[in-house]
Structure 1
Amino acid sequence: MNPYLPKKYASSSERQWALFAHLSALAACVMPMAHLIIPLVIYFSKKEESAFVASHARAALNFQLSIALYCLLASPLVLLAIGIPIIMILGIMSMVCAIIAAIRLDQDQNYRYPISISFFK
């Protein structure tokens, strides 16, 4: 089954849950770890009900986990001062890619997150 089903096959409720999963990156500005917790909860609560929601939540979760891993790996570089801009760029990239994914979801287009590692398949 195609993980990114066209929105004509997804109800408005399913599209809304997928949108929440992608935009969870913005919630991290208010609540720490929200960018990981929200898509994880959506994925595990909706994976049996909707392949559409599960695939979008899985994509968002994999990307946010990848960004967290890259930030963790860049953190020792803060001592060399190069880590600060790297972590800032990763944070901005996280939010921008989440917004792009949400826009593409609304436009019924596929979006693959860049530099994303597939932790959940």
Structure 2
Amino acid sequence: MDLPDKEARTWAMFAHLSTFAGHLVPFGNIVGPLIIWCLKKDEQPFVNDQGKEALNFQITMTIALIVAGISIFVLVGIVLFPAVWLFDVIVTIIAAVKANEGVAYRYPCCIRFVS
């Protein structure tokens, strides 16, 4: 398989890194990759693939963080919430690095909402 061009790899990396907007803006973790995916999906197949991957993972993580947040009331969430957040940050960084290398990264524990 051919390596995606530099522009496609850069946009794919930004699709993953844009999820960190969620630390500043509510649901920015979903809006960031959604915008990049919508802008570039028809132009670059690699960005289409990685944009959907980032979007699906962030929707999954948002649901997981909501569940973890609610479970704080039964004390399980005190450990679960930071664990889910840390997992999100670590695998997002790995995905961004892999996308920049031209590797189509697949997140673990990801529900495919957008196909």
Answer yes or no: same fold by TM over 0.5: yes
* 1:37-116 alignment, distance < 5 Å: 37-116=31-110
SS at match of 1:28: helix
Supply the distance in 2 between the matched residues of 1:55 and 1:66 (Cα, whole angstroms): 17
Q: Which stretch has the larger CA shift, 56-65 or 77-86?
A: 77-86
> What is the total number of aligned residue pairs between the two structures?
115
Q: Which runs of 5+ in 1 are unaligned?
A: none
What TM-score do the two structures reach when normalised by structure 2? Answer: 0.88
Q: Structure 1 residue 118: deviation in Å?
A: 0.0
5+ residue gaps in structure 2? none
% identical equivalent positions? 31
CA distance in 1, matches of 2:99, 2:39: 20
Asked if the contact 1:43/1:58 (under 8 Å) is kept, the reply is yes
Given the alignment of the two structures, is residue 35 of structure 1 paired with residue 68 of structure 2, yes or no?
Answer: no
Q: 1: distance between equivalents of 2:9 and 2:99?
A: 8
- Structure 1 residues 111 and 70, CA, compared in 2 at 3 Å: closer, same or farther? same
Counterpart contact for 1:62–1:116, Cα < 8 Å: yes
8 A Cα contact 1:25 1:94, kept in partner = no
Deviation at 1:28, TM superposition (A): 2.3
**Counterpart residue type for residue 83 of structure 1:** G
TM-score, normalization: structure 1? 0.84
SS of residue matched to 1:109: coil
Instruction: Render the CA deviation track for 1:38-73: whole Å, top value 9, x for unaligned.
Output: 101111111111111010010001001000011122
Shift of 1:34: 1.8
For 1:6-21, what aligned pairs fall within 5 Å after superposition? 6=2, 8=3, 10-21=4-15
